[in-house]
Amino acid sequence: MSLVKINIGPVHPSTHGLLRLVVTLDGDTIVNVEPHVGFLHRGVEKLAENRMYMQIPPFIEKCDYVAKMAMDEAYVATVEAAMGIEPNERAQYERVILLELQRIASHLLWLGAMLNDLGHFFSVFMWTFADRDKVLKLLEEATGQRMFYVNMRLGGLRQEFPKDFEYHALDVLTYLEKRINEYESFIENSSLFKERMYKVGVLSRDDAINLGVSGPVLRASGVNFDVRKDKPYYVYKKLNFKPIVLYNGDNFSRYKVRILEIKESIRLIREAFKQMPDGNATGMPIKLINPAPKNKVVRVSREGPRGEIMFYLVADEQRPYRLAMRTPAFINLAALNHIARGNKFANLFPIIGSLDLVMADVDK
Give the C-alpha separation, 262 to 74, whole Å: 20
Question: Would you state the pLDDT for residue 333?
Answer: 94
Kindly report whether the peptide bond that precedes residue 162 is cis, defined as omega within 30 degrees of 0: no
Instruction: Give exposure, 29-64, as e/b (b: 16+ Cβ within 10 Å).
Output: ebbebebebebbeeebbeebeeeebbebbebbbbbb
Between residues 18 and 351, the one the model is more confident about: 351
Other CB atoms within a 10 A radius of the CB of residue 352 amount to 26
Counting residues of the chain whose pLDDT is more than 70, the rounded percentage is 99
Cα–Cα distance for residue pair 165/167, rounded to 1 Å: 5
Spatial separation of the C-alpha atoms in residues 337 and 179, rounded to whole Å: 34
Nearest to 103 by CA among 309, 348, 322: 309
The identity of residue 116, as a single letter, is N
For residue 306, pLDDT beyond 70: yes
- Residues 122-176: pLDDT tens digits? 888 899 999 999 999 999 999 998 888 999 999 999 999 999 999 999 999 999 9
Kindly tell me the burial class for residue 189, based on how many C-beta atoms sit within 10 Å of its own C-beta (0-12, 13-18, 19 or more): exposed
Q: Report which residue type is found at 279.
A: G
Q: Which residue has the higher pLDDT, 121 or 93?
A: 93
Give the DSSP letter of residue 119. Answer: T
What letter represents residue 263's amino acid?
K
Per-residue confidence (pLDDT) for residue 1, from 0 to 100: 61
- What is the SS3 assignment for 238? helix
For every residue of 260-273, DSSP letters joined together read HHHHHHHHHHHHHH
Q: For the chain, list the domains and their CATH numbers.
A: 3-363 (1.10.645.10)
What average pLDDT does the chain have? 92
pTM: 0.95
Q: Which residue type is seen at 157?
A: L
User: What is the 8-class DSSP label of residue 118?
Assistant: T
* pLDDT tens track for 215-260: 999 999 999 999 999 999 999 999 989 999 999 999 999 999 999 9
Give the three-state DSSP class for 61: helix
